[in-house]
Structure 1
Amino acid sequence: MFHRVATVLLRIIPVLIVVSVSTAVLIELVPGDPAVAVVGAEGTPEQYAAVRENLGLDRPWFARYLDWLNGLLHGDLGKTLVPPIQDVSTLIATRLPVTLEIAVLSVLLALAISIPVGTWSAYRYGRAFDRVASGLSFALISVPSFLLALILIYFAVFRPEAVKGLILAACVIATVVLAAATVGRRGAQLTAQGRRGVRLFALGVFAVGFVLAAFLPDFPRQGFARIGEDGLAENLRTIFLPVLVLGLAESAQLTRLLRSDMATTLNDDFVLASRAQGMPVRHILVKEALRPSTFSLVTVAGISFGRLLGGTVIVETIFRLPGMGTLIVESVAKKEFMVLQAAVLVVAALYVLVNALVDISYLYLDPRTRHVRV
């Protein structure tokens, strides 16, 4: 198993080398001149030439790449070309935590929604819960993230009372539906312990809804509060809406994926054998069927995390978040190849590392893969 893990981690190195070289080549093909951003549009050809020579832009791209690589090996990512001049490592250090926090919380929120909803949808395949969950998933998939962000801003920022009323109404309806399930013909099919559990769950849903409706904070339209400067509570308040937008969008895809895989797993022989032995539903779903159904879920969640690291430009722009997505776009516009080279490498390193962790997680999800040669 150790050999398998080491092999997966060693594959990161050649991937990062290819990414860095490809980035250097693509930057050279991007139109634009950093000298224009330094001198201004009214500069003379002589001034542009002097700036290019001073910044080393008159040298071939591979020579500049080797200098950058040498600095990287010594822990130096260089400085920005366009004023204000600052260390690239400092610039990335201020932007990366924003994107990392949003990406991690968005994926965790998506998993927290998709695992229980997808699991229960597979168990109730084709029934009322499954049809409602599938309809909501299709609706979220079809709504672009920027439109969902604008809708949430309108209601959460400008119409908070409507949101509180909607939350309370939804919880009351859910409580009534759950309580009704414990009486009549359906309630007769449950044991006394099962009815008690459903009623306690219904009471918990109502309590959570009441607390949310009563103490839901006001959310800002834009901006980002850092934990070290403004505290954890203010930080979570400023990133709640961006995380909710991205988490809902990702949860719809993950729910559909888990529902499909788990519906197949529930028809496998070992699950049918557990049912024949009279195992409880919770044991069958959680202990027997969930783990072998999460291969695709874990893979897609890892891909989603990598995509969120560098692809949240629209959401970052709407909420004015100083993340890596906007940094990369700004660097492309200014042709800040030092910043762009480092930013792309950092995002690629995190993306490859997460996918390596996904590969390693397969060793836990399916012990049979521990003996497969790589």
Structure 2
Amino acid sequence: MRPHGERWRAPYACDPGATRGRLYPEADSPTRSPFQRDRDRIIHSTAFRRLKHKTQVFVYHEGDHYRTRLTHTIEVSQIARALARALGLDEDLAEALALSHDLGHTPFGHTGEEALDAEMAGQGGFDHNAQALRIVTRLERRYAAYDGLNLTWETLEGLVKHNGPLVDAAGRGIGAYREHGVPGAILEYSALQDLKLASFASAEAQCAAIADDIAYDAHDIDDGLRAELFDLADLAGVPFLRDILDEIERAYPGLERSRVIHELVRRIITRFVEDVITESDRRLSALAPADADAIRAAGDAVVAFSPGMAQAEAGIKGFLYPHMYRHPTVMAVRRQADHVVRDLFRRLVAEPGLMPAEWCADLAGADDGRLMRRVADYIAGMTDRYALEEHRRLFDATPDLR
């Protein structure tokens, strides 16, 4: 592990001075690196602002202190940047990837994604990762010279592959894409600017991916406790969490509940981050990659938890799944949200003229696939609040989602 605060660049870091470029060539900035420009374009995008009113687990009006997609994204960014600095990577690229990783999410969290995926089953389905790529390469319309944000190859590669390769050497889908194949949006863009779908992404992208897991685990515990879906005593069933709670009790006997929760969350994050740095240093030392392409060619991720911490992290997810994500209160809201998204999709496919003019102006004579994808794009971009407002406009009864 490198000394605290020391700034250095490892040979396997992505070099902003040697980027593979943008789909549409642009002159370099005299004040910002290409990865800094990517980060800034993401922050100023419309899709990024919409994350403020998109659900993490709870809908936006459930309380001011629960995570939204935006606050989650900011927390992921902080963790990704800390990891990148400790490992000698490009912090700006890691931050850009963390800030963009949830751009493709629908309203109402994974419920909205599942509803759109089901409605689009005959047209290639719906995948939030592919949707993020559509947003930054097509749907954002801000610049005079092109659609999208015209991000660098390294940012697009990391956005698509931060969780690992998408296909095997023969081009067959693997992992999440084993059954239905890689989404068309990813294949279409990769045909324009080859994203090397069979290789790993950069170490910076791997930092963003594992930072997402760390933020989810720690802060969903925080939100679940705040919402009283479970209590501190329930966490004793997870050895990793029980040990931290015992440690807090020994150091601060009788500490008030709110401070115990904060101590728990910050210690979870600290342990995860320090473990990732130590394990990743070990893997990188063993691999001795000469450059970023050696990271991409490696047979496994280089940024990872140690085996023991991976088991602890799985234990947290195993607790949160039944106690939070499938809690009866949350599931009741999810069922209502599912109906809202499906209602909107079916109505707008039947009557596309109900969408704003810029969304339906060129749909005359469009085939079913193009029409349905346009409707999916429109709904996916909605915030929770706007989706509910549109449902109230188009239907006589809209659930309160409480």
Higher percent of residues as helix: 1
One fold, TM greater than 0.5?
no
TM-score (normalised: structure 1): 0.24
Q: Identify which of structures 1 and 2 has the higher relative contact order when contacts are C-alpha pairs closer than 8 Å and 6+ apart.
A: 1
Bigger radius of gyration: 1
TM-score (normalised: structure 2): 0.23
